[in-house]
Amino acid sequence: MGPDGSRIQSDHATWSDSSARAVLQLMVESVAEMVGFEVAALSVVLGDELVTMAYTGPEEHRAYVEESDPVSVITPVLERARPWGPRLRFIEATALTELEGHWVEVEQVASAHPDAWRPTDGLLAVLSNDDGAVVGILSVDRPSSGRRPDERQRGLLERYAAQAERAVLTAFEREALVQQVAHAESARRLIRSASRPTHGSLEDVLRHTHGPLVTGFDARGSWLQVFQPDGPGVGVVRTDAGRLVPISRDLVDVAVRVAPSLWADQRPVVITADSIPPDVPEIRDHFLQRDVSSVLGVALGVGEECVGFMALSRHADQPPWSQVEIDSALQIGHDLGAALVTAGALERERNLVRELQQIDDHRSQLIATLSHELRTPLTVISGNLELLGTLDLDPQADRYQQAMNRGTQRMGKVVDDLLLLARVSNPQHPLTRVPVDLRTVARDVVSLVESTARSKGLTVTVDLEPDGLMVPGDPVELDRLVGNLVSNAVKYTPAGGSITVSAARRAGEVVLGVADTGLGISEDDQEGLFRAFFRTTNPDALREPGTGLGLAIVATILERHQGRVEVGSRLGEGTTFTVILPAA
């Protein structure tokens, strides 16, 4: 038992590694030498065992004496012993042989003197705490004089017993303090680990934090309340077994009211049946009616902001909150507060991303729906215009027919681009990967635009490595990617310019480049280049027809293929698009 009467859940190894054992050993040796006994032993109560911590005497008895006994062996000793002082108890001759436990009988020839010490005599000093609970036994045997100790020796032994008692109580206090510090620090480490944002939501952090709290502080329950600007927030009360306990709104309102002042003053609130702070009666009523004897509460926060409240409870058979535990709880208020703020921010970010994803999905669905709806009438219009073109029209009507045909084709291109963007932007649209040779794709694209380039007086150069240009992906999408880049180069390069299409293998990637000596792109325009419907501010580029979807399609296709694109351009000097794709 500890100095306050509580059980100390310690073990032999813990004491063996401490300086307390050395002090007790020195004390036992001093007792034997100064009082005049050849054998002395000191045992302490650890949990449910009586463990010998110090011994002096014949070595052949050491192993036997140091075997632990149940604490229950003390009771019959006290029942049969005769008091010889406040702590001393003397056991007459044969009584010792009838006791359970490891009691040593050291052989000694008894003299004929009336006060002769007999081999079965026993002299013990009972060491107790302030509450009268036994914390240890100091025993001596085989007096050097061969006689039972006289009054002077008893008085001296009584004084040594008092010193041993203080030493044992001090050791218990130190042991309890070490355990409290270790538990509190362990709780802080566990809480830091449990409250990392990898667990996700605020509810996840609260759930994973409960276990370390009740374990580290030896609590019988925990209450964690997280405040939110638009209401009381999230609150969870659990027993040490993890069972959820209902929480009233009145109790939450108390936490919301008192926590900010606790955080500002950096002070705890300790509630017991005998000590009830005036501003928290509801907390007392809630916990104390559930067989709880004491509650430790602290505010949670970051900087000057209070973000929540934490309370831990204990039953009547547990010790009061120590200052070490209170200080550790205040520190945990900072650690857990920071974790909750981070978790809240991440949760808001996830909600925002989810909303944006829903908006983006809706946009893609809307684009796809409108494109399909536009395609049918455009097909009808295009067919009728084509039929009109076969008729013998007067020159003015023929001009109108050709203008309408060009407009229809342009609108058809917009619809096709919208449908393609919606398809490649749809996360539910699977990407079927097959080996694709970029050499073949690049050559096919160049052959399609070559006549247009030649009509503008452009020089097109193709520089492709002979091997190693295979990439995994969708052939149609990769063809569209390269086609958009090359057709843009042709469109925005004035007459007399040049275009270079190159591809090479670099480690585990294939690098495709499309460079031109055209109009170039300003730095401001480069920031929004890959957004849908983006149009440049360059008036020379605006003269060229376009949907503003080509580069958005390029970026989306690359994202689906785990690739990336880089842009190098200066206004008036040309542009280079560099596409990097993982090699097959």
How large is the angle between the packed helices 550-560 and 395-425, nearest 10 degrees? 30
Do the domain assignments include residue 102?
Answer: yes
Instruction: Specify burial of residue 483 (Cβ count, 10 A radius: 0-12, 13-18, 19+).
Output: buried
Task: Name the residue among 295, 260, 290, 258 with its Cα closest to residue 275.
Answer: 295
Residues 521/536, Cβ–Cβ less than 8 Å: yes
Tens of each residue's pLDDT in the chain, 584 residues: 344 434 344 444 455 446 677 888 888 898 888 889 989 999 988 878 888 888 998 888 788 777 888 888 888 888 888 899 899 999 875 555 555 665 655 555 556 678 888 877 889 999 998 888 899 999 998 888 888 899 999 999 999 999 889 888 888 777 766 666 666 666 666 555 655 544 456 777 787 788 888 887 888 888 899 988 776 678 888 888 888 888 888 888 888 888 999 999 999 988 887 776 766 666 666 665 557 788 899 999 988 899 999 999 888 888 888 887 888 888 888 888 888 887 777 777 878 878 877 777 766 676 667 666 677 787 878 788 888 877 877 888 888 888 888 888 777 777 777 777 777 777 667 788 899 999 999 999 999 999 999 999 999 999 999 887 999 999 999 999 999 999 999 999 999 999 999 999 998 899 999 999 999 988 888 888 888 777 777 777 777 776 678 888 899 899 989 999 999 998 888 999 999 999 98
In a shared domain, residues 452 and 399: no
Residues 560/431, Cβ–Cβ less than 8 Å: yes
CA–CA dist 166, 162 (Å, integer): 6
pLDDT for 246: 85
Do the domain assignments include residue 314?
Answer: yes
Tell which of 154, 179, 204 closes a domain: 179
In a shared domain, residues 256 and 378: no
Residues 161/87, Cβ–Cβ less than 8 Å: yes
- The enclosing domain of 494 has a CATH number of 3.30.565.10
What is the token pair recorded at 224? 């964690």
Tell which of 307, 341, 375 closes a domain: 341
Task: Name the residue among 116, 169, 141, 155 with its Cα closest to residue 55.
Answer: 141
Do the domain assignments include residue 236?
Answer: yes
Backbone Cα Rg of the chain? 44
For 258-343, list the strands marked E by DSSP.
269-272, 294-302, 305-314
pLDDT for 389: 78
Task: Name the residue among 135, 48, 141 with its Cα closest to residue 103.
Answer: 141
Q: Which domain holds residue 106?
A: 12-179
Question: At which residue do the structure tokens 């920071």 appear?
Answer: 338
In a shared domain, residues 245 and 330: yes
CA–CA dist 371, 425 (Å, integer): 14
CA–CA dist 301, 296 (Å, integer): 17
Cα 553 vs. chain centroid, distance in angstroms?
Answer: 39
In a shared domain, residues 197 and 319: yes
Helix (H) or strand (E) segment spanning residue 308: strand 305-314
In a shared domain, residues 93 and 207: no
Do the domain assignments include residue 86?
Answer: yes
Length of the chain: 584
Q: What φ, ψ does residue 317 adopt, rounded to 5°?
A: -85, 10
In a shared domain, residues 207 and 158: no
In a shared domain, residues 540 and 575: yes
Do the domain assignments include residue 128?
Answer: yes
Do the domain assignments include residue 104?
Answer: yes
Do the domain assignments include residue 285?
Answer: yes
- The enclosing domain of 189 has a CATH number of 3.30.450.40
- The enclosing domain of 395 has a CATH number of 1.10.287.130
Helix (H) or strand (E) segment spanning residue 391: none
Number of H helices, E strands in the chain: 15, 19
In a shared domain, residues 514 and 563: yes
Q: What is the DSSP letter of 322?
A: P
3-state helix vs strand vs coil in the chain, percent to 5:
50, 25, 30
CA–CA dist 482, 550 (Å, integer): 11
Tell which of 302, 319, 341 closes a domain: 341
- Report the phi/psi class of residue 365: left, alpha or beta, with left for phi > 0 and alpha for psi in -120 to 50: alpha
The total number of structural domains in the chain stands at 4
In a shared domain, residues 92 and 151: yes
In a shared domain, residues 360 and 276: no
Which residue type, as a one-letter code, is found at position 172?
Answer: F
Sheet of 269-272, strand order: 231-239, 221-228, 305-314, 294-302, 269-272
In a shared domain, residues 310 and 391: no
Do the domain assignments include residue 530?
Answer: yes
CA–CA dist 310, 370 (Å, integer): 54
In a shared domain, residues 278 and 247: yes
